[in-house]
Amino acid sequence: MSAKQSNPRSGCLILLLLLIPSLPCLGEELRVARIFSDHGVLQQGVPVPVWGVAEPGATVTVEFAGQTRTIAAGNHGKWKLELAPLKAHATGNRLTVTSGTKTLEIRDLLVGEVWYASGQSNMRMTLGSCANKLEAVREMVADPKPRLIRTLRVGNADTEKPLADFPGPAAWQLDTPANRRAQSAAAFLFAKELHDQLKVPIGIIEGSWGGKPIEGFIPREDFEKSAMLKPILDLAEAGDLERLKQIEGGVFIRNTAGRPGRIFNSRVAPVAPYALKGFIWYQGESNAGKGEDPRNYRHKTRALAEGWRRTWKQKALPFYFVQLPSFNASAVGWVRLREEQRLSLDIPNTGMAVTIDLRDSDIHPSNKVDVGKRLAIWALAKSYGKPVPFSGPLFKSADIEGDHIRVSFEHVGAGLMVARKEGIDAPVASKNRALAHFELADEAGQWHPAEATIDGATVIVKSDSVAKPIAARYACAGAPTDANLYNRAGLPASPFCSKLELLPWAEEK
């Protein structure tokens, strides 16, 4: 039916649109969700949902890669079906959607691995920005040879209610030197590592937003059902933002995007249920700035990961995140937030890329090469079953042995080492260098610099100033510039404190 022909149901449809403003335009045209656009990547190995709108009750047929699926649109015109699991395919195929006399064609769709990337400005930092400081990145950006990496930037403004679809066209981008410069460096370099190792197309859907706290990315309903997080929602909705800054685990909300769920509504909700392999996340700076209280960040991370998984109706989707690097010696909150991130590893199917050794005076470290690789090795090992080391040493226990403490670690692998890392080069063992940034707490809870020595798979920590130590910590004071404990795979140890009650949450108010 053409737009000019009369339709006896049009009055009812207009009324329905007024009653259901969150739905796309109903009954006026055949539509597929905008995320299905030319040059996209579909996830291999799982059922692939395809959805959209059509005339209520109309038959909709989807064809792709030899498959044909048919379904009737519902009373509101919404329809959704699933393609059977697809095999990776590096040559573009065409997806067609037909209803009556109308046909849509989405061209050049590849099949491979798809990941959703988000966070704040360190995830948004572009390859072009990194290339301004790193020659290796500059050469990679200029490389004329395209890779089978496709990217989709989700930049929607925050919304009060979850979006049912993107408000405008979604444009998947091919990998070219011109397009590469504007891509998220961490996400693209993660994708590059997967592409190099798996030899399949990689799709990245990237919805980060600089300067935003984690609260905006968490589904609103997760605040409703958490006694720990509900006060944040209540104070935010009451507009009592000053009180919200003061409560335990509070947050500074500087604009509407920082309010609970607002970014989720606009940059996550319209992506679901697009088939994914998992999520990568780089955020925390806006929950640990001057005066901000990073308490409960691990619980917020759980709400985020579980909320996104529930949105996709897949409880085990991988969630790999970046621990904050070293920055600003007075940023007490960053130290404590790194501990919250380490403790978030008890959330199932998570992994943490440690970055304490990626030294940079900028809040946006330019070395996203190691960030991307360290995220990717978690995925390669845990999501793809590759036999690769994936984690540096993680604190396990601290045993008091008289005047010293013996610290044990998980993920020691072939052993511990003192090493020095320069730029994007692999860490080099430094036999003549001492371990740095270890401290012991005395009986009064005061911290003192300590000597640390590798003893097999453990580290012995001792200080002449502490006769009876009660706790040990590593890289938990100021902004370490030479954190140098690694395993033999060249992966850095995470900062840790064996008694968290001795580690301040934030600057004294």
Specify the domain boundaries for CATH 3.40.50.1110 within the chain.
112-383
With H, G, I as helix, E, B as strand and everything else as coil, classify residue 372: helix
Terminal C-alpha separation, the chain: 67
Q: What is the CATH number of domain 112-383?
A: 3.40.50.1110
| pLDDT of the residue at 506 | 63
- Measured distance CA(338)–CA(471) in Å, rounded: 18
Q: What is the CATH number of domain 10-109?
A: 2.60.40.10
Nearest Cα neighbor of 317 from 365, 368, 379, 363 is 379
| pLDDT of the residue at 8 | 42
Mean pLDDT by 10 residues, the chain (509 residues): 41 38 54 98 98 97 98 96 98 97 97 98 97 95 96 98 96 96 98 98 98 98 95 97 94 97 98 98 94 92 98 98 88 91 98 94 92 98 98 98 98 97 94 95 97 97 98 93 96 97 73
Angle between helices 368-378 and 135-142 (to 10 degrees): 70
Specify the domain boundaries for CATH 2.60.40.10 within the chain.
10-109
CB 115 within 8 A of CB 280: yes
CB 331 within 8 A of CB 479: yes
| pLDDT of the residue at 359 | 81
Place of tokens 């001057």: 290
- Measured distance CA(288)–CA(214) in Å, rounded: 11
Q: What is the DSSP letter of 492?
A: B
